[in-house]
Structure 1
Amino acid sequence: MHDKPQTAPAGEFRLPHHQLLSLAGRDAMAFAQAQFMSDVAALADGQWQWSGWLTPKGRTIALFALLRLDAETLWLLLPDADAAALADALRRYVFRSKVVLALLDATVAGGFAAPVQASGNRFASLGEGWIELDMSGEHHARTLHIGPLVAPDDADALARWDAADLAHGLPRLPASQANQWTPQQLSLERLRAFSVKKGCYPGQEIVARTHFLGQAKRGLALFESDAAPPVGAEVLVDGRAAGSIVAAADPLALAVLPVERSGPAQLADGAPLRERPLEGGLAR
């Protein structure tokens, strides 16, 4: 990273929870392909995809954007998971592989405008250590910058950004929701975040079995409410416990619920939930 900070573009704000982890070395691609749930080998230099790391039982430990800078360098952009803890956990599987995991000291900033150069899954290197990503979806133009940036804090804009993530089906998982849900329960096929064809990785057997046997009976549902419900809150359908809230950003929340359900949902305390269709366009 270039060490001379530059001011972020006008209107952009800091995304304080986003962290960066680098995988670098001769075996970085092979290591990532064996550990992560997306098809890393399908990436070309300058491309990115959604990906994640699973437990052997197919539960999602961390969800992230995976960027390929070159043949020996990957970056993980983590919107929620702790980068240091993830690095420590991944190092247990390095063994003799020639790969180095390192935390990157960079600012991550976002803004509600179309990117200048990045498009879809192609990110742009803007010089001075800057990277630009297209985070736009169906109804939201958004740009994300990584680099030695100076960006202001803006609580209102940050809340709007987080809500846009949820609206597009990107579950922003707090620590309490890690290790709880399979990729299908989080509807991550909508983001093309996992592969059922590339071969072995932790949890792959569970993911592939669920896919090929058609057993994905639960998925994400998007709700709007007068106040964002607490993560972990129980959701009722027809008066019976049906699932729980896994992510929330006022006024939206994502819940894991049965795909087929017969009535409207509400919180266990009786507060109503107004279901909204998930928006598209964030798949990479």
Structure 2
Amino acid sequence: MTDNRQIPSDRAFALSDHGVVALQGPDAVAFAQAQFANDLNALDDGRWQWNAWLTPKGRVIAVFAVLRVAADRLLLVLADMPPIELATALKRFVFRKKVTVDVPADLQVQGRFGPPEAAQGALMHVTGDQIELDVGSAHQPRTLRLSSHHVETDAAALARWRDIDLRHGLPRLEASQREQWTPQQLSLERLRAFSVKKGCYPGQEIVARTHFLGKAKRGLALLESDAVLIPGAPVEETGRNLGLVVCASTHVPGPVLAVLPLDHPPGDLHSASQALRQLTLLDGLAR
């Protein structure tokens, strides 16, 4: 389902709930490879991937895009978590590695509801002081840009961008939902955001065991509500608690992502006496 509120496709707006963290130095890729869940060694310069940082118990702290700008420079683009918070946490693990972790003051994250000029799929496009990413799908073309030329935000456009993320199964984790879910529970395999073969990283043993032993019993479900739901709210069926809301639209009617049993058949679901409609997650954001 595509949001049809009309916002000009050629107008860029600030994604004010997004931020950037930069990893710079000869050990930047090695550091990220040891910390993050996806395989950075399989990523060529000029390309990007979805990735995640996990706790040692395999719970997702943050989901973000990793841009391999060069062999010694990575950019992390993340939503909802302040970039300074992620940068500060990562610095605790640098030790003697030749890598700096900082928040670029000049880069603004911007969005546009239209196809990129040159970027395609996982291939990004760099021109001067701007980087362009294709973060759209056949259902909804979208362009994400990092630019030093700042633009204004647009509340309606920002809300629409978030709703599209949710409809495609890209979880938006506010503080209360960090360190609560495994990658499989958030269905991050749909985004190709983690690896079970690359070797050690925090939480890798739990992620691999869940994958190879077939123990993933829960995953993301897309619902729709006529009331604004709070992350962490229970999702119930005839008095039985089936799961929890992970993230939800800020307007109604709007999409809701919840973690539910994978084998749950369609039924009458509700949260806080509010009826929920079950929808099908859209594909197209995997990179």
Q: TM-score, normalised by structure 2?
A: 0.93
What residue in structure 1 maps to residue 88 of structure 2?
88
After TM superposition, which residue ranges in structure 1, 4 or more long, deviate above 6 angstroms?
A: none
Alignment of 1:41-190 (within 5 A): 41-105=41-105, 106-127=107-128, 129-190=129-190
> 1:232 Cα shift?
1.3
Cα shift at 1:148: 1.1
Deviations 1:184-227 (A, max 9, x none): 00000000000000000000000000000001100000011113
Deviation at 1:265, TM superposition (A): 4.7
2-structure distance, mates of 1:150, 1:100 = 25
**Residue correspondence of structure 1 range 217-232 to structure 2 within 5 A:** 217-232=217-232
| Shift in Å, 1:162 | 0.4
CA–CA distance in structure 2, aligned partners of residues 268 and 43 of structure 1: 41
Matched residue type, 1:283: A
Which residue, out of 279, 282, 286, partners 1:279?
282
Match of 1:14 in 2: 14
Aligned partners of 2:170 and 2:133: how far apart in 1? Answer: 16
Q: Distance in 2 between matches of 1:265 and 1:63?
A: 31
TM-score, length basis structure 1: 0.94
Q: Which position in structure 2 is the counterpart of 1:32?
A: 32
Q: Cα RMSD over matched residues?
A: 1.2
SS at match of 1:90: helix
Number of residue pairs the alignment of both structures matches: 275
Query: CA separation in 2, counterparts of 1:265 and 1:98?
Result: 54
- Post-superposition shift, 1:263? 4.6
C-alpha contact 1:138 1:282 (8 A) present in aligned 2: no
Q: Which amino acid aligns with 2:180?
A: Q
Instruction: Provide the C-alpha distance between the structure 1 equivalents of 2:152 and 2:224, rounded to a whole number of angstroms.
Output: 28
Post-superposition offset of 1:242: 1.0
8 Å contact from structure 2 (residues 80, 172) kept in 1: yes
Stretches of structure 1 that go unaligned for 5 or more consecutive residues are 1-8
Following superposition, the deviation at residue 24 of structure 1 comes to: 0.6
